[in-house]
Chains A and B, each alone.
Chain A
Amino acid sequence: MKEDSKPNGWLTAALLAPTTMWFLFMLILPLIVILVFSFGERAAAGGYAGGFTFEQYANLPARLKAFQNTMTFAPIGTLLCLIVAYPLAYYLALRVDRRYKLTLLVLVIVPFWTSLLVRTYAWIFLLGGRGIPSLLEWIGFEGVRLINTPGAVLIGIVYGYLPLMVFPIFVSLEKLDKNLLEASDDLGGTPLKTFWQITLPLSMPGIATGCMLVFILLMGEFLIPAFLGGGKVFFIGNALVDLFLQSRNWPFGSAVSVTLVVIMLITISLYMRLTMRTKTSRDESLM
Protein backbone atom coordinates (compact mmCIF):
# COMPACT_ATOMS: atom_id res chain seq x y z
CA MET A 1 0.00 0.00 0.00
CA LYS A 2 1.15 3.47 -0.77
CA GLU A 3 1.73 6.12 1.83
CA ASP A 4 -1.28 8.35 1.06
CA SER A 5 -3.81 5.57 1.22
CA LYS A 6 -3.30 5.19 4.96
CA PRO A 7 -6.28 6.24 7.05
CA ASN A 8 -5.91 9.93 7.61
CA GLY A 9 -6.89 10.87 11.17
CA TRP A 10 -7.42 14.55 10.49
CA LEU A 11 -9.62 13.90 7.49
CA THR A 12 -11.75 11.43 9.43
CA ALA A 13 -12.16 13.91 12.26
CA ALA A 14 -13.07 16.71 9.87
CA LEU A 15 -15.66 14.57 8.11
CA LEU A 16 -17.22 13.57 11.42
CA ALA A 17 -17.12 17.02 13.02
CA PRO A 18 -20.52 18.34 11.83
CA THR A 19 -22.28 15.10 12.74
CA THR A 20 -20.67 15.11 16.18
CA MET A 21 -21.83 18.69 16.75
CA TRP A 22 -25.35 17.73 15.80
CA PHE A 23 -25.40 14.72 18.10
CA LEU A 24 -24.08 16.83 20.97
CA PHE A 25 -26.45 19.78 20.64
CA MET A 26 -29.56 18.28 19.11
CA LEU A 27 -29.58 14.83 20.71
CA ILE A 28 -27.49 14.56 23.87
CA LEU A 29 -28.21 18.05 25.23
CA PRO A 30 -32.03 17.73 24.85
CA LEU A 31 -31.95 14.26 26.39
CA ILE A 32 -29.92 15.48 29.36
CA VAL A 33 -32.26 18.44 29.86
CA ILE A 34 -35.28 16.13 29.80
CA LEU A 35 -33.59 13.78 32.24
CA VAL A 36 -32.75 16.64 34.64
CA PHE A 37 -36.25 18.12 34.33
CA SER A 38 -37.84 14.77 35.09
CA PHE A 39 -36.41 14.97 38.62
CA GLY A 40 -37.62 18.55 39.12
CA GLU A 41 -40.89 20.13 40.14
CA ARG A 42 -43.53 22.04 38.25
CA ALA A 43 -43.24 25.80 38.68
CA ALA A 44 -46.39 27.57 39.85
CA ALA A 45 -46.98 29.20 36.46
CA GLY A 46 -46.04 26.06 34.57
CA GLY A 47 -42.65 25.11 33.25
CA TYR A 48 -39.82 23.84 35.41
CA ALA A 49 -38.57 24.56 38.92
CA GLY A 50 -35.33 23.04 40.18
CA GLY A 51 -35.19 20.24 42.68
CA PHE A 52 -34.49 16.59 43.08
CA THR A 53 -37.50 14.42 43.60
CA PHE A 54 -38.84 11.13 42.32
CA GLU A 55 -42.36 12.52 42.56
CA GLN A 56 -42.80 12.73 38.78
CA TYR A 57 -41.93 9.09 38.35
CA ALA A 58 -44.19 8.14 41.23
CA ASN A 59 -46.98 9.95 39.38
CA LEU A 60 -46.53 7.93 36.19
CA PRO A 61 -49.53 5.65 36.90
CA ALA A 62 -51.72 8.72 36.28
CA ARG A 63 -50.91 8.28 32.61
CA LEU A 64 -50.96 4.49 32.69
CA LYS A 65 -53.82 4.34 30.18
CA ALA A 66 -51.77 6.18 27.54
CA PHE A 67 -48.87 3.75 28.06
CA GLN A 68 -51.20 0.76 27.89
CA ASN A 69 -52.85 2.05 24.72
CA THR A 70 -49.53 2.71 23.02
CA MET A 71 -48.12 -0.64 24.06
CA THR A 72 -51.17 -2.48 22.68
CA PHE A 73 -51.93 -0.42 19.57
CA ALA A 74 -48.33 -0.20 18.36
CA PRO A 75 -47.77 -4.01 18.15
CA ILE A 76 -51.32 -4.71 16.89
CA GLY A 77 -51.05 -1.94 14.31
CA THR A 78 -47.66 -3.25 13.17
CA LEU A 79 -49.05 -6.78 12.84
CA LEU A 80 -52.10 -5.55 10.88
CA CYS A 81 -49.83 -3.57 8.55
CA LEU A 82 -47.78 -6.71 7.98
CA ILE A 83 -50.85 -8.83 7.24
CA VAL A 84 -52.23 -6.29 4.77
CA ALA A 85 -48.86 -5.47 3.19
CA TYR A 86 -47.39 -8.96 2.69
CA PRO A 87 -49.78 -10.25 -0.01
CA LEU A 88 -49.44 -6.98 -1.90
CA ALA A 89 -45.64 -7.03 -1.71
CA TYR A 90 -45.69 -10.70 -2.78
CA TYR A 91 -47.93 -9.93 -5.73
CA LEU A 92 -45.78 -6.97 -6.81
CA ALA A 93 -42.49 -8.83 -6.45
CA LEU A 94 -43.34 -12.23 -7.88
CA ARG A 95 -46.57 -12.13 -9.84
CA VAL A 96 -46.76 -8.82 -11.71
CA ASP A 97 -45.48 -8.42 -15.25
CA ARG A 98 -42.08 -6.69 -15.27
CA ARG A 99 -43.49 -3.83 -17.38
CA TYR A 100 -45.99 -2.70 -14.75
CA LYS A 101 -43.91 -3.41 -11.68
CA LEU A 102 -42.32 0.00 -11.27
CA THR A 103 -45.56 1.90 -11.91
CA LEU A 104 -47.48 -0.19 -9.41
CA LEU A 105 -44.72 0.21 -6.84
CA VAL A 106 -44.63 3.98 -7.26
CA LEU A 107 -48.41 4.03 -6.83
CA VAL A 108 -47.93 2.53 -3.37
CA ILE A 109 -45.59 5.35 -2.30
CA VAL A 110 -47.41 8.28 -3.90
CA PRO A 111 -50.00 8.61 -1.08
CA PHE A 112 -47.05 8.86 1.29
CA TRP A 113 -46.04 12.08 -0.41
CA THR A 114 -49.26 13.83 0.47
CA SER A 115 -49.56 15.02 4.02
CA LEU A 116 -50.67 12.46 6.60
CA LEU A 117 -52.66 15.30 8.17
CA VAL A 118 -54.77 15.76 5.05
CA ARG A 119 -55.19 12.01 4.47
CA THR A 120 -56.35 11.52 8.03
CA TYR A 121 -58.92 14.27 7.52
CA ALA A 122 -60.30 12.21 4.65
CA TRP A 123 -60.82 9.30 7.02
CA ILE A 124 -62.70 11.52 9.45
CA PHE A 125 -65.24 11.95 6.69
CA LEU A 126 -65.15 8.34 5.49
CA LEU A 127 -65.68 6.88 8.95
CA GLY A 128 -68.00 9.64 10.10
CA GLY A 129 -71.80 9.61 9.98
CA ARG A 130 -72.09 10.38 6.27
CA GLY A 131 -69.35 8.04 5.13
CA ILE A 132 -69.18 4.28 5.44
CA PRO A 133 -71.83 4.03 8.23
CA SER A 134 -74.46 5.61 5.96
CA LEU A 135 -73.51 3.15 3.21
CA LEU A 136 -73.90 0.28 5.66
CA GLU A 137 -77.24 1.66 6.74
CA TRP A 138 -78.34 1.65 3.12
CA ILE A 139 -77.45 -2.05 2.88
CA GLY A 140 -79.27 -2.80 6.08
CA PHE A 141 -76.82 -2.54 8.95
CA GLU A 142 -78.03 0.23 11.15
CA GLY A 143 -76.38 2.07 13.95
CA VAL A 144 -72.82 1.17 13.03
CA ARG A 145 -70.41 3.58 14.66
CA LEU A 146 -66.89 3.79 13.34
CA ILE A 147 -65.35 7.15 14.11
CA ASN A 148 -63.81 7.58 17.57
CA THR A 149 -63.45 3.85 18.12
CA PRO A 150 -60.29 1.73 18.47
CA GLY A 151 -61.15 0.24 15.06
CA ALA A 152 -60.99 3.67 13.44
CA VAL A 153 -57.55 4.26 14.94
CA LEU A 154 -56.34 0.91 13.60
CA ILE A 155 -57.69 1.68 10.11
CA GLY A 156 -55.88 5.02 10.22
CA ILE A 157 -52.68 3.31 11.32
CA VAL A 158 -52.78 0.70 8.54
CA TYR A 159 -53.58 3.40 6.03
CA GLY A 160 -50.80 5.71 7.14
CA TYR A 161 -48.02 3.16 7.49
CA LEU A 162 -48.77 0.61 4.78
CA PRO A 163 -46.19 1.92 2.26
CA LEU A 164 -43.43 1.68 4.88
CA MET A 165 -44.23 -2.01 5.32
CA VAL A 166 -44.71 -2.90 1.64
CA PHE A 167 -41.37 -1.48 0.58
CA PRO A 168 -38.84 -3.51 2.61
CA ILE A 169 -40.81 -6.74 2.07
CA PHE A 170 -40.94 -6.07 -1.66
CA VAL A 171 -37.17 -5.53 -1.75
CA SER A 172 -36.41 -8.83 0.01
CA LEU A 173 -38.90 -10.79 -2.13
CA GLU A 174 -37.57 -9.21 -5.30
CA LYS A 175 -34.03 -10.37 -4.49
CA LEU A 176 -35.23 -13.94 -3.91
CA ASP A 177 -33.73 -16.50 -6.26
CA LYS A 178 -36.65 -17.68 -8.43
CA ASN A 179 -34.81 -20.94 -9.17
CA LEU A 180 -35.44 -22.01 -5.57
CA LEU A 181 -39.18 -21.72 -6.11
CA GLU A 182 -38.97 -23.79 -9.29
CA ALA A 183 -36.78 -26.37 -7.61
CA SER A 184 -39.28 -26.74 -4.78
CA ASP A 185 -42.07 -27.07 -7.33
CA ASP A 186 -40.14 -29.72 -9.30
CA LEU A 187 -39.46 -31.69 -6.16
CA GLY A 188 -43.17 -31.98 -5.51
CA GLY A 189 -43.59 -29.23 -2.91
CA THR A 190 -47.11 -27.89 -2.68
CA PRO A 191 -47.46 -24.10 -3.16
CA LEU A 192 -48.17 -23.75 0.55
CA LYS A 193 -45.10 -25.75 1.49
CA THR A 194 -42.95 -23.75 -0.93
CA PHE A 195 -44.19 -20.54 0.62
CA TRP A 196 -43.71 -21.78 4.17
CA GLN A 197 -40.26 -23.27 3.66
CA ILE A 198 -38.69 -20.96 1.08
CA THR A 199 -40.49 -17.69 0.41
CA LEU A 200 -41.36 -16.74 3.96
CA PRO A 201 -37.96 -17.48 5.56
CA LEU A 202 -36.15 -15.66 2.75
CA SER A 203 -38.33 -12.58 3.15
CA MET A 204 -37.70 -12.41 6.90
CA PRO A 205 -35.15 -9.55 6.67
CA GLY A 206 -37.74 -7.41 4.87
CA ILE A 207 -40.41 -8.30 7.41
CA ALA A 208 -38.06 -7.48 10.29
CA THR A 209 -37.12 -4.10 8.80
CA GLY A 210 -40.69 -3.15 7.94
CA CYS A 211 -42.01 -4.12 11.36
CA MET A 212 -39.29 -2.18 13.14
CA LEU A 213 -39.87 0.95 11.06
CA VAL A 214 -43.63 0.90 11.59
CA PHE A 215 -43.34 0.04 15.28
CA ILE A 216 -40.87 2.86 16.00
CA LEU A 217 -43.05 5.42 14.29
CA LEU A 218 -46.23 4.11 15.95
CA MET A 219 -44.73 4.46 19.43
CA GLY A 220 -44.55 8.24 18.90
CA GLU A 221 -47.80 8.58 16.97
CA PHE A 222 -50.30 11.16 18.17
CA LEU A 223 -52.07 12.51 15.10
CA ILE A 224 -54.11 9.42 14.18
CA PRO A 225 -55.47 8.79 17.70
CA ALA A 226 -56.19 12.51 18.10
CA PHE A 227 -58.21 12.66 14.87
CA LEU A 228 -59.82 9.23 14.64
CA GLY A 229 -59.92 8.26 18.31
CA GLY A 230 -61.79 11.37 19.39
CA GLY A 231 -60.15 11.57 22.81
CA LYS A 232 -61.26 8.06 23.70
CA VAL A 233 -58.14 6.38 22.38
CA PHE A 234 -55.00 8.30 23.23
CA PHE A 235 -51.33 7.43 22.97
CA ILE A 236 -48.28 8.62 24.89
CA GLY A 237 -47.74 11.12 22.08
CA ASN A 238 -51.07 12.75 22.93
CA ALA A 239 -50.17 12.79 26.63
CA LEU A 240 -46.88 14.54 25.81
CA VAL A 241 -48.53 17.22 23.67
CA ASP A 242 -50.99 17.83 26.47
CA LEU A 243 -48.37 17.91 29.24
CA PHE A 244 -45.85 20.15 27.49
CA LEU A 245 -47.99 22.50 25.44
CA GLN A 246 -51.36 22.66 27.20
CA SER A 247 -50.93 22.04 30.92
CA ARG A 248 -47.25 23.06 30.83
CA ASN A 249 -46.23 20.45 33.35
CA TRP A 250 -42.71 20.10 32.00
CA PRO A 251 -41.22 17.88 34.74
CA PHE A 252 -44.01 15.32 34.51
CA GLY A 253 -43.88 15.45 30.71
CA SER A 254 -40.12 14.87 30.94
CA ALA A 255 -40.64 11.85 33.17
CA VAL A 256 -43.14 10.43 30.65
CA SER A 257 -40.66 11.09 27.79
CA VAL A 258 -37.78 9.43 29.62
CA THR A 259 -39.96 6.40 30.38
CA LEU A 260 -41.06 6.14 26.75
CA VAL A 261 -37.48 6.33 25.50
CA VAL A 262 -36.39 3.65 27.97
CA ILE A 263 -39.29 1.37 26.98
CA MET A 264 -38.40 1.81 23.31
CA LEU A 265 -34.71 1.14 23.81
CA ILE A 266 -35.48 -2.05 25.70
CA THR A 267 -38.11 -3.33 23.23
CA ILE A 268 -36.03 -2.55 20.20
CA SER A 269 -32.80 -4.06 21.49
CA LEU A 270 -34.71 -7.20 22.48
CA TYR A 271 -36.34 -7.27 19.05
CA MET A 272 -33.03 -6.78 17.25
CA ARG A 273 -31.39 -9.51 19.30
CA LEU A 274 -34.27 -11.84 18.46
CA THR A 275 -34.23 -11.16 14.71
CA MET A 276 -30.44 -11.34 14.59
CA ARG A 277 -30.53 -14.80 16.10
CA THR A 278 -33.21 -16.15 13.79
CA LYS A 279 -31.80 -14.52 10.70
CA THR A 280 -28.17 -14.24 9.79
CA SER A 281 -28.39 -11.58 7.11
CA ARG A 282 -30.22 -8.64 8.52
CA ASP A 283 -28.01 -6.15 6.73
CA GLU A 284 -29.95 -6.13 3.50
CA SER A 285 -32.74 -3.63 2.99
CA LEU A 286 -32.08 -1.82 6.23
CA MET A 287 -34.32 1.07 5.33
Chain B
Amino acid sequence: MRIYSIAVYLFLYVPIGIIVLFSFNAGRHASELRGLSVQWYGIALSNPFVGDAFFTSLVVALSVAILSSLMGTAAALALQRLKGTLRVLFDGMIYISVMIPGIVIGIATLVALVTVFNFLNPLLASVWSEGVKPPKLHMGYASVIAAHTLFTMSLVIILVRARIAGMDRTLIEASMDLYATPWRTFYQITLPQIYPAILAGFLLSFTFSFDDFIILPGYINFAVKIRISAHQIRRQQDTGLGIYQP
Protein backbone atom coordinates (compact mmCIF):
# COMPACT_ATOMS: atom_id res chain seq x y z
CA MET B 1 0.00 0.00 0.00
CA ARG B 2 2.89 2.31 0.69
CA ILE B 3 4.41 1.53 -2.70
CA TYR B 4 1.06 2.24 -4.31
CA SER B 5 0.86 5.63 -2.59
CA ILE B 6 4.37 6.53 -3.68
CA ALA B 7 3.38 5.64 -7.23
CA VAL B 8 0.34 7.93 -7.04
CA TYR B 9 2.48 10.80 -5.75
CA LEU B 10 4.91 10.23 -8.62
CA PHE B 11 1.97 10.30 -11.02
CA LEU B 12 0.91 13.64 -9.54
CA TYR B 13 4.34 15.27 -9.52
CA VAL B 14 6.21 14.02 -12.60
CA PRO B 15 4.27 16.32 -14.99
CA ILE B 16 4.90 19.31 -12.76
CA GLY B 17 8.57 18.38 -12.54
CA ILE B 18 8.71 18.26 -16.31
CA ILE B 19 7.26 21.74 -16.61
CA VAL B 20 9.81 23.06 -14.15
CA LEU B 21 12.63 21.25 -15.95
CA PHE B 22 11.65 22.60 -19.34
CA SER B 23 11.29 26.12 -18.01
CA PHE B 24 15.07 26.07 -17.61
CA ASN B 25 15.56 24.76 -21.14
CA ALA B 26 18.15 26.77 -23.05
CA GLY B 27 16.82 25.63 -26.40
CA ARG B 28 13.77 27.03 -28.15
CA HIS B 29 11.91 23.79 -28.54
CA ALA B 30 10.15 21.63 -26.06
CA SER B 31 11.18 18.49 -27.86
CA GLU B 32 14.77 18.60 -26.70
CA LEU B 33 16.65 19.80 -23.67
CA ARG B 34 19.68 21.89 -24.63
CA GLY B 35 21.37 22.81 -21.42
CA LEU B 36 19.97 24.87 -18.62
CA SER B 37 19.25 28.56 -18.64
CA VAL B 38 16.99 31.07 -16.96
CA GLN B 39 16.49 33.14 -20.10
CA TRP B 40 12.77 32.26 -20.42
CA TYR B 41 12.05 33.66 -16.99
CA GLY B 42 13.48 36.99 -18.11
CA ILE B 43 11.43 36.88 -21.29
CA ALA B 44 8.26 35.91 -19.41
CA LEU B 45 8.71 38.61 -16.78
CA SER B 46 9.40 41.31 -19.35
CA ASN B 47 6.40 40.31 -21.47
CA PRO B 48 3.59 42.79 -20.77
CA PHE B 49 0.89 40.26 -21.65
CA VAL B 50 2.05 37.75 -19.07
CA GLY B 51 2.16 40.45 -16.42
CA ASP B 52 -1.25 41.83 -17.42
CA ALA B 53 -2.88 38.41 -17.43
CA PHE B 54 -1.43 37.64 -14.03
CA PHE B 55 -2.57 40.96 -12.59
CA THR B 56 -6.05 40.53 -14.09
CA SER B 57 -6.39 37.05 -12.62
CA LEU B 58 -5.27 38.32 -9.22
CA VAL B 59 -7.71 41.25 -9.12
CA VAL B 60 -10.61 39.12 -10.36
CA ALA B 61 -9.88 36.21 -8.01
CA LEU B 62 -9.52 38.47 -4.95
CA SER B 63 -12.77 40.31 -5.70
CA VAL B 64 -14.57 37.03 -6.30
CA ALA B 65 -13.26 35.52 -3.06
CA ILE B 66 -14.22 38.56 -0.97
CA LEU B 67 -17.65 38.99 -2.57
CA SER B 68 -18.58 35.33 -2.34
CA SER B 69 -17.48 34.84 1.26
CA LEU B 70 -19.44 37.92 2.38
CA MET B 71 -22.60 37.18 0.41
CA GLY B 72 -22.40 33.43 0.89
CA THR B 73 -22.06 33.70 4.67
CA ALA B 74 -24.89 36.23 4.88
CA ALA B 75 -27.14 33.98 2.81
CA ALA B 76 -26.22 30.84 4.79
CA LEU B 77 -27.10 32.62 8.05
CA ALA B 78 -30.39 33.89 6.68
CA LEU B 79 -31.36 30.60 5.06
CA GLN B 80 -31.51 28.75 8.36
CA ARG B 81 -34.42 31.00 9.35
CA LEU B 82 -36.21 30.46 6.08
CA LYS B 83 -38.82 27.74 5.73
CA GLY B 84 -41.32 26.47 3.20
CA THR B 85 -41.41 27.20 -0.53
CA LEU B 86 -38.83 29.99 -0.40
CA ARG B 87 -36.34 27.67 1.24
CA VAL B 88 -36.87 24.97 -1.38
CA LEU B 89 -36.48 27.59 -4.10
CA PHE B 90 -33.17 28.82 -2.72
CA ASP B 91 -31.86 25.30 -2.15
CA GLY B 92 -32.70 24.43 -5.73
CA MET B 93 -30.89 27.47 -7.09
CA ILE B 94 -27.83 26.83 -4.94
CA TYR B 95 -27.52 23.29 -6.24
CA ILE B 96 -28.23 24.22 -9.84
CA SER B 97 -25.54 26.91 -9.79
CA VAL B 98 -23.00 24.39 -8.49
CA MET B 99 -24.12 21.64 -10.84
CA ILE B 100 -24.33 23.52 -14.10
CA PRO B 101 -21.16 23.06 -16.20
CA GLY B 102 -18.93 26.14 -16.25
CA ILE B 103 -18.87 26.10 -20.03
CA VAL B 104 -22.68 26.22 -20.24
CA ILE B 105 -23.26 28.99 -17.73
CA GLY B 106 -20.26 30.95 -19.06
CA ILE B 107 -21.57 30.99 -22.59
CA ALA B 108 -25.19 31.49 -21.47
CA THR B 109 -24.21 34.53 -19.40
CA LEU B 110 -22.18 35.91 -22.27
CA VAL B 111 -25.09 35.59 -24.68
CA ALA B 112 -27.57 36.97 -22.14
CA LEU B 113 -25.49 39.99 -21.18
CA VAL B 114 -24.58 40.84 -24.78
CA THR B 115 -28.28 40.69 -25.67
CA VAL B 116 -29.30 42.86 -22.71
CA PHE B 117 -26.52 45.37 -23.36
CA ASN B 118 -27.37 45.61 -27.05
CA PHE B 119 -30.91 46.43 -26.03
CA LEU B 120 -30.00 48.88 -23.25
CA ASN B 121 -27.21 50.82 -24.94
CA PRO B 122 -29.35 52.58 -27.63
CA LEU B 123 -31.93 53.25 -24.92
CA LEU B 124 -29.33 54.84 -22.68
CA ALA B 125 -28.00 56.86 -25.61
CA SER B 126 -31.48 58.19 -26.45
CA VAL B 127 -32.18 59.20 -22.87
CA TRP B 128 -28.81 60.89 -22.43
CA SER B 129 -28.62 64.65 -23.07
CA GLU B 130 -27.10 65.81 -26.35
CA GLY B 131 -23.39 66.39 -26.56
CA VAL B 132 -22.51 64.26 -23.53
CA LYS B 133 -21.11 60.86 -24.30
CA PRO B 134 -23.60 58.29 -23.02
CA PRO B 135 -22.31 55.48 -20.83
CA LYS B 136 -21.87 52.25 -22.69
CA LEU B 137 -22.43 48.95 -20.99
CA HIS B 138 -19.95 46.31 -22.01
CA MET B 139 -18.22 43.17 -20.88
CA GLY B 140 -15.28 43.61 -18.60
CA TYR B 141 -13.94 42.92 -15.17
CA ALA B 142 -17.37 43.34 -13.60
CA SER B 143 -19.07 40.71 -15.72
CA VAL B 144 -16.27 38.21 -15.20
CA ILE B 145 -16.32 38.77 -11.44
CA ALA B 146 -20.11 38.47 -11.36
CA ALA B 147 -20.06 35.23 -13.36
CA HIS B 148 -17.40 33.61 -11.20
CA THR B 149 -19.17 34.72 -8.05
CA LEU B 150 -22.34 32.80 -8.90
CA PHE B 151 -20.54 29.47 -8.54
CA THR B 152 -18.23 30.34 -5.64
CA MET B 153 -20.99 32.04 -3.64
CA SER B 154 -23.05 28.87 -3.73
CA LEU B 155 -19.99 26.92 -2.68
CA VAL B 156 -19.55 29.18 0.36
CA ILE B 157 -23.24 28.80 1.26
CA ILE B 158 -22.94 25.00 1.20
CA LEU B 159 -19.76 25.01 3.31
CA VAL B 160 -20.98 27.51 5.90
CA ARG B 161 -24.39 25.86 6.15
CA ALA B 162 -22.81 22.47 6.86
CA ARG B 163 -20.79 24.14 9.61
CA ILE B 164 -23.85 25.87 11.09
CA ALA B 165 -25.65 22.51 11.15
CA GLY B 166 -22.83 21.03 13.23
CA MET B 167 -22.71 24.01 15.58
CA ASP B 168 -23.53 23.88 19.26
CA ARG B 169 -26.91 25.60 19.52
CA THR B 170 -26.91 25.73 23.32
CA LEU B 171 -24.17 28.35 23.28
CA ILE B 172 -26.38 30.71 21.30
CA GLU B 173 -29.28 30.14 23.64
CA ALA B 174 -27.03 30.72 26.63
CA SER B 175 -25.78 33.95 25.11
CA MET B 176 -29.35 35.11 24.51
CA ASP B 177 -30.36 34.20 28.04
CA LEU B 178 -27.46 36.23 29.37
CA TYR B 179 -28.88 39.30 27.60
CA ALA B 180 -26.31 39.58 24.84
CA THR B 181 -27.54 41.60 21.88
CA PRO B 182 -28.03 39.58 18.64
CA TRP B 183 -25.03 41.34 17.14
CA ARG B 184 -22.87 40.43 20.10
CA THR B 185 -24.07 36.83 20.00
CA PHE B 186 -23.15 36.69 16.35
CA TYR B 187 -19.76 38.27 16.87
CA GLN B 188 -18.74 36.30 19.96
CA ILE B 189 -20.44 32.94 19.46
CA THR B 190 -21.54 32.29 15.89
CA LEU B 191 -18.67 33.87 13.97
CA PRO B 192 -15.83 32.06 15.78
CA GLN B 193 -17.60 28.77 15.18
CA ILE B 194 -18.29 29.23 11.48
CA TYR B 195 -15.01 31.01 10.79
CA PRO B 196 -13.13 27.91 9.51
CA ALA B 197 -15.86 27.28 6.95
CA ILE B 198 -15.74 30.90 5.75
CA LEU B 199 -11.97 30.71 5.42
CA ALA B 200 -12.18 27.43 3.51
CA GLY B 201 -14.81 29.02 1.24
CA PHE B 202 -12.61 32.07 0.66
CA LEU B 203 -9.60 29.95 -0.30
CA LEU B 204 -11.65 27.64 -2.53
CA SER B 205 -13.26 30.62 -4.28
CA PHE B 206 -9.90 32.24 -4.87
CA THR B 207 -8.43 29.01 -6.23
CA PHE B 208 -11.33 28.31 -8.58
CA SER B 209 -11.44 31.85 -9.88
CA PHE B 210 -7.68 32.22 -10.27
CA ASP B 211 -7.39 29.02 -12.23
CA ASP B 212 -10.45 29.58 -14.35
CA PHE B 213 -10.13 30.39 -17.99
CA ILE B 214 -13.40 28.95 -19.21
CA ILE B 215 -15.52 31.91 -18.22
CA LEU B 216 -12.75 34.40 -18.98
CA PRO B 217 -12.14 33.82 -22.68
CA GLY B 218 -15.85 33.86 -23.39
CA TYR B 219 -16.28 37.52 -22.68
CA ILE B 220 -16.06 39.59 -25.79
CA ASN B 221 -14.26 42.87 -25.11
CA PHE B 222 -12.27 41.51 -22.31
CA ALA B 223 -11.65 38.35 -24.22
CA VAL B 224 -9.53 40.00 -26.84
CA LYS B 225 -6.89 40.79 -24.29
CA ILE B 226 -7.11 37.51 -22.45
CA ARG B 227 -7.12 35.47 -25.61
CA ILE B 228 -4.09 37.26 -26.90
CA SER B 229 -2.31 36.67 -23.64
CA ALA B 230 -3.32 33.03 -23.62
CA HIS B 231 -2.01 32.81 -27.14
CA GLN B 232 1.22 34.46 -26.12
CA ILE B 233 1.67 32.10 -23.23
CA ARG B 234 0.99 29.20 -25.53
CA ARG B 235 3.60 30.49 -27.96
CA GLN B 236 6.09 30.86 -25.18
CA GLN B 237 5.38 27.37 -24.04
CA ASP B 238 5.98 26.40 -27.61
CA THR B 239 9.38 27.92 -27.49
CA GLY B 240 10.65 26.73 -24.16
CA LEU B 241 8.52 27.90 -21.25
CA GLY B 242 6.43 24.80 -21.60
CA ILE B 243 6.43 21.65 -23.56
CA TYR B 244 3.83 22.04 -26.25
CA GLN B 245 4.61 20.05 -29.34
CA PRO B 246 2.77 20.95 -32.51
- The answer, yes or no, to whether B69 is at the interface (CB within 8 Å) is no
A154: interface (CB < 8 Å): no
CB <8 Å contact, B158 and A23: no
Set of chain A residues within 8 Å of B4, measured between Cβ atoms:
87-88, 91
> Interface code B8-42, partner A: CB below 8 Å = 1, 0 otherwise?
11011111101100100000001100000000000
Majority SS of interface residues in chain A? helix
A100 vs B213: C-alpha distance in the bound complex, in angstroms?
Answer: 34
CB neighbours (8 Å) of A125 from chain B are 18, 22, 30, 243-245
CB contacts (< 8 Å) of A128 on chain B: these are 245
Is B127 engaged at the interface, CB distance under 8 Å to the other chain? no
Contact with A along B55-83 (1 / 0, CB 8 A): 00000000000000001101101110110
Given contacts A33-B112, A126-B15, A250-B111, contact A241 B103 (CB under 8 A): yes
The reply on B139 being an interface residue by CB < 8 A is no
| Contact (A88, B8) CB under 8 Å given A12-B81, A122-B243, A283-B165 | yes
CA distance A12 to B80 in the complex (A): 9
B240 within 8 Å of A by Cβ? Answer: no
Q: Is A179 an interface residue (CB 8 A)?
A: no
Q: Tell me whether B191 is interfacial, beta carbon within 8 Å.
A: no
Q: Is the CB of A122 within 8 A of B19?
A: yes
Closest CB in chain B relative to A90 CB, distance in Å: 8
Given A15-B78, A268-B99: A95 and B245 interface contact (C-beta under 8 Å): no
**For residues 219 through 267 of chain A, which have their beta carbon under 8 Å from a beta carbon of chain B?**
219-220, 222-223, 237, 240-241, 244-245, 250, 253-254, 257, 260-261, 264-265
User: Does the CB pair B12–A260 fall under 8 Å?
Assistant: no
* A102 is an interface residue with CB less than 8 A from chain B: no
Please name all residues of chain B whose beta carbon is closer than 8 Å to the beta carbon of A2 when the two chains form the complex: 176, 179
How far apart sit A147 and B148, CA to CA, in the bound complex (Å)? 32
Contact of B126 with A by CB under 8 A: no
Q: Which of A11, A18, A264, A286 contacts B71 (CB 8 A)?
A: A18
What chain A residues lie within 8 Å of B74 (beta carbons)?
A: 15-16, 18-19
B29 to chain A, nearest CB (A): 11
CA distance A1 to B177 in the complex (A): 8
Closest chain B residue to A23, Cβ basis = B93
CB distance from A157 to the nearest CB of B (A): 13
Can you name the residue of chain B whose Cβ is closest to the Cβ of A117?
B213
Contact with B along A1-43 (1 / 0, CB 8 A): 1101101100111011011001101111111111001000000
- Give 25 CB contacts A-B under 8 Å: A4-B182, A8-B182, A12-B82, A16-B82, A18-B75, A19-B90, A29-B112, A30-B105, A33-B112, A84-B8, A88-B5, A91-B2, A108-B12, A111-B13, A118-B237, A118-B242, A159-B11, A159-B15, A162-B12, A216-B98, A216-B101, A237-B101, A264-B100, A283-B162, A286-B162
**Nearest 8 Cβ contacts at the A-B interface:** A220-B101, A122-B15, A15-B78, A30-B108, A125-B243, A33-B112, A19-B75, A30-B112
